[in-house]
Amino acid sequence: MVSLTEVAARKVGEFLQSQSAGPTAGLRVGVRGGGCSGFQYALALDEEREGDHVFEDRGIRVIVDDASLRYVKGSTVDYKESLMGAGFEVNNPNVVAACGCGSSFRVADEEPSCGVTV
């Protein structure tokens, strides 16, 4: 399961409403290869597709494709606002290493993509 904080759910709800999204729309939480640690998060408003795992939390559909689920299972999506900017942040218990800027991560049993050792 992937969950949302109250703030993240409210923000996703606002985005979905402003986009006049359909009833199967929600927040897609996925991963893609990239960054110095191996993976990067991919968050987007999207519709459910065949083979997706769908979780409902705080009235928001959280959509995860099958390939991404093993990397984000148990994660919580939050939304942060500060003087430096605002955006979504994934708190992922599966992460064993992350790059210095926080935009990429690595999970156990995956080799780092840039030769970094932990």
Can you count the helices (H) and strands (E) in the chain?
2, 9
Report yes or no: 103 and 39 within 8 Å, Cβ to Cβ. no
Which CATH homologous superfamily contains domain 3-107? HesB-like domain (2.60.300.12)
Residues in the chain: 118
pLDDT digits (tens, 9 = 90+) for 70-117: 989 999 999 999 888 899 988 988 877 666 555 666 666 655 444 444
3-state secondary structure 83-105: CCEEEEEEECCCEEEECCCCCCE
CA gyration radius, the chain: 15
Closest CA to 65 of 74, 56, 54: 54
Higher pLDDT, 45 or 106: 45
Residue 21 is encoded by which pair of tokens?
A: 């999204």
CA 90 to chain centre: 5
Bridge partners of residue 44, in order along the sequence: 28
Torsions phi, psi for 17 (to 5 deg)? -65, -40
Average pLDDT of the chain to the nearest whole number: 84
Cβ atoms within 10 Å, residue 28: 20
pLDDT, tens digit (0-9, with 9 covering 90-100), for 11-41: 999 999 998 888 889 999 998 877 666 788 8
**pTM of the predicted model over 0.85:** no
85-91 vs 76-82, strand pairing mode: antiparallel
